[in-house]
Amino acid sequence: MNTLANGIDTAEPGTAAAISADIRDRADPALVRADRVEQLYSQLPLGMVATIVIGVIAAFELREGRFIELVLFWGGLLALVVVLHGMLYFGYRSDPRKLQNTAQWLRWLGIGAFAAGAVWGFAAAVFFPSHADERQVFLAFLLAGVISGGIPMYAASWPVFAAYAAAITLPFTYVLATFGNRLFAEIALLIPLFYGVSVAIAFRLNGVFLAGYRLRHAYQRQLIELQEARRQIEASGRKLALFAERAPIAVLELDAQGTIHQVNHAAELLFGYAADELIGHSAKRLVKPKYHADFEREWGAVIGNRAPVAGVKVRNPRRDGIDVVCEWTVTPLVNPDGQLISVIAQGRDITAQLEAERMKKEFTSTLSHELRTPLTSIIGSLQLINAGVLGEVPKDVGELTEVAERNGQRLLDLINDILDIEKIESGKLTLVPEVIRVDELVREAMVLNKGFGDRFKVRFEPRGELVTREVTADRKRLLQVMTNLLSNAAKFSPEGEVVEITTEELAGQLRVGVHDRGPGIPEAFRSRIFGRFTQADSTATRHKGGTGLGLAICKRLVEMMQGRIGFQDRDGGGTTFWFELPRHA
């Protein structure tokens, strides 16, 4: 496999030759053996017919005189061997599991071959010494014939041939060697050599057969695998086509000139053109005419670089003249030779997303101005009344105007918090860093929040010496963090309690801790305490105020100042909230 620059895998052209080099090793040995056994058994009928014909001729020639009984006996043996071979043949043919039982059938055939050879060997041993010269020549010719005939018969398994030929040659060699004739004794010496040569030929033939069978099975297997691979490729091709076709984004296939070759259904829907109206046309049909020059330049760059580009925002005209803004990913497909096959362009309609972003911006601005202005009047009026600027008001009226002022303030806090979160998350909040002494910051925060503490009858007190080291931070925003932690501590502390504030220096970090004696943070709430709109107990929002955004804002602000924020249980009950900022060098 080869990987293209753009991550598409493709087969290398030389792979086929490499596969065929070791293809024979991939053949299943069991199947190869089954083929060999089948080959051996398929020749059995021919062998049986030949045995009968040769046997009848031999019996006829050797029948004379006192040997008739022996000839009949031998003929009977030969007939028995032929019958047994016939039974073996039909047994094999009718075995439904012959492909699995190949070893057994090969063994039986070996025994049969040996038996046949032994019957011919018997003929050599019995009839050769007792006959006259011409009969001996006939017999030697006959034996040479049945041995050489065995080579093609049993070549598919050389050990079977070796057993068959040995059963013939051994008695014949013995008879020749003990005959008392010098010529025969010399022939007896040559017979083992002939035997060896015959077995060697059978062995070579066996090798040729084996190679043939292996190749056949390997190719068969290869063919099946190729068919399977083709099926898989077709299936994945169909799947890919389906993905493109059903994808909710527009997918176009183009050539190097920018001519459209294929479009999916989403593209038809998005641009309002039928596929036929786009296929064969330039992609410029989807680009406003005044941007055609830009398009050609950028398209040329993509084709030239052969590298995918993503996140390209283009205003595309629809068929009905309305523009849609799409974000495009353009991927050139290149083959191993570096030739461009095609270009896939995927476009996502982001018109609605851009509109939503614009509306969100507008909404935020409206929230900022249009809500703050009436709140200024509401809270301002109530503050003037509650401050006694207009003189004494009846007690009941005063209580209600205080409720109104407090809730007006809550509403304002919520608006401010939402605006803060929005500003932080959209990256629009800019900090004004300055060098701040930690002890001064803590004292300023305590003064600022004294009124809030008084409302809940809670005092803020420093514990131990306050660190006089400095941090680089946005003073206003850091005070906002302190105010949040102090007001939370006051809200959740029992009346009359003291909220302690500590500062300490830890490995280049300055840590400010706010320690309360509140009910602690419930286990289930701990993981999302710094999330948005979270309060452990929603009834607390009504009783104690708070928007559920305070800690989320604190976390983001502290992190923007390269710090950390966290909390832990306090010994003796309550919670410690802390934040750390890098010490000013």
Q: Which of the ranges 69-77, 190-198, 262-270, 385-393 carries the binding residues for another protein, by CB under 8 A?
A: 385-393
CB of 357 to another protein, least distance (A): 18
Return the number of the residue (387 or 524) whose C-beta is nearest another protein. 387
211 binds another protein (CB under 8 A): no
Instruction: Identify which range of 177-185, 303-311, 379-387, 396-404 contacts another protein by CB under 8 A.
Output: 379-387
226: exposed, middle or buried (C-beta count within 10 Å: 0-12, 13-18, 19+)?
exposed
Residue with smaller CB distance to another protein, 409 or 541: 409
For position 560 contacting another protein by CB under 8 A, the verdict is no
Toward another protein, which CB reaches closer, 474 or 500?
A: 474
Detail the DSSP E strand segments found in 98-185.
none
Instruction: Report CA torsion sign: 36, 42, 43, 45.
Output: positive
Q: Which stretch binds another protein (CB under 8 A): 201-209, 233-241, 365-373, 434-442?
A: 365-373
Structure tokens at 146: 């049945």
Shortest Cβ 432–another protein spacing (Å): 7
By CB under 8 A, the residues from 398 to 457 that bind another protein are: 412, 430, 432
Q: Do 550 and 478 meet the contact criterion of CB atoms below 8 Å apart? A: no
472 beta partners: 435
Identify the three-state secondary structure at position 2.
strand
**Of 285, 372, 437, 469, the one binding another protein by CB under 8 A:** 372
Work out whether the CA dihedral 307, 312, 315, 318 comes out positive or negative: positive
The correct pick among 104, 136, 329, 381 for binding another protein (CB under 8 A) is: 381
User: Of the two residues 413 and 504, which places its CB atom closer to another protein in the complex?
Assistant: 413
Q: Strand pairing partners for 521?
A: none
Residue 390 near another protein by CB under 8 A: yes
Backbone conformation region of residue 330, classed left if phi is above 0, alpha if psi is from -120 to 50, else beta: beta
User: Minimum Å distance from CB 414 to another protein?
Assistant: 13
246-252: long-range contacts, CB 8 A cutoff, minimum separation 24: 247/346, 249/346, 249/347, 249/348, 249/349, 250/326, 250/345, 250/346, 250/347, 250/348, 250/349, 251/344, 251/345, 251/346, 251/347, 252/278, 252/283, 252/344, 252/345, 252/346, 252/347
For another protein, the binding residue among 379, 436, 512, 551 (CB under 8 A) is: 379
Return the residue of 380, 496, 522, 531 that touches another protein, per CB under 8 A: 380
- Binding to another protein by residue 393, rule CB under 8 A? no
**Among 16, 21, 193, 387, contact with another protein (rule: CB under 8 A):** 387
As to burial, measured by CB atoms within 10 angstroms (0-12 exposed, 13-18 middle, 19+ buried), residue 160 is buried
Stretch that binds another protein, among 292-300, 346-354, 387-395, 494-502 (CB under 8 A): 387-395
Binding residues for another protein, per CB under 8 A?
A: 368-369, 372-377, 379-381, 383-384, 387, 389-390, 412, 430, 432
